[in-house]
Structure 1
């Protein structure tokens, strides 16, 4: 059994039970759900970790029961990936794998982990259960959850989820719905799993040139850099003071911009650091995803600017534009 050191220099030894499949509490719709072209290339797993203080109840069992209830509403994530006749990935809602749930325990205290936002990679991987078959597209569950009870009575919940079905706003929607049900409240979102809006016309009809698909020259030989250099995982935390200082630096001349959001600020900083690390030329062009774009005003729903990972968005209401 591996033992890693926590921020308090204490050994983190996690004893895990055998994973169990948590299925929706009630019967849910079957069928196959479409995945957009953006989702097709993001079939990898990412993780989240939440921590909770002691509250005197068996929280692991509590959240497990709430999970079964929330999956009735968020039923696509209880399914599995499949490949259709065109070789495209879809979500098979008939093959219900459920969520792989692991109960675990650790003798140290939650506070020994330090700042949960700045976890060491070796420590965070102990807090999240990764299914051993996750590299086999159609085999693993789309989500795993691990609840670790600590010696202090606190709890961490580590989530591993397939990026092609959940990302950004949909992840928040799922976690908020889970929390609402755990508190004994009804979920606040009426969900829509309709995928037709993301489908192209048959045959596709390109009416404009999309810059994201225009080939660019690899002037700095970035491909070789990614193959030769070792990738190191690091976590950086920006508090309000750091953000304020960065904004002051970014808007100092008053010519480029006078103000900016925290997201734009960090996105620009990361892009600048990436360009320097990859030794990109000043004249070099690069394809990027769109950081933001205005929401379509014809839909009365938040978050419609997200193109991929569209499961569990609020139900859309069409409003006729003037």
Structure 2
């Protein structure tokens, strides 16, 4: 049998096995994205009134809306401020817990537990901790510091959300980094020790280069986690005070399910998708160059 016939048969078999996965991908991913983009060019509702095509009007409204521009700034601040500690702290913990220390298994489990807890339940716990008469302000009073109106302050409310999101992500990224560390050949460290390299030199010249693919994965997943942040805002601040903690997903929720402006919400969601793609692209370029 000719080679081309084998290729045709193998190609047909490959497409046959891929067909169920591609069908599900099209139904649950590609179709919703196309529908979302189309919806962003309409106004109206899904009732008898129906949807009406208005072109780019929703996008013009978004760019002229000061609340939306503030939400974009909040989202970028929240994402970047969560991303950096969510990579640095788990990396340091992973390097430490990769060594043979006492109770290593216990500490690994303890740090991972937050990543499997309900973010709504944790959010309610954080709201209790940081309320005006809560334990955090109580501790500040006992050690002689002035209390802080954490959740009613336009300055301090966002750091509470960032703290929660970082705490939630640390365990997952730590496990990812541990897996990456164990994939680095031990012989590299042994050779570096023979050359007289200290711990810092081994970290910068062996550990970090060896973790490059792992860092890319952790950065991308953390950025996606923060960009789709909703539960912590809903449970703790509700977007306040004065819109200072309103991030893009919560803003989309408000427009779609509180104001029922579905076309406008779809336009905001399309911009969120574009921001996510740009951030992922920049992260991949940064780590791969």
Which category describes the TM-score, using the shorter chain as reference length? under 0.3
Report which structure shows greater RCO (CA 8 Å, sep ≥6): 2
Whose Rg is larger? 2
TM-score by length of 2: 0.19
Which has a greater percent of strand? 1
Which has a greater percent of helix? 2
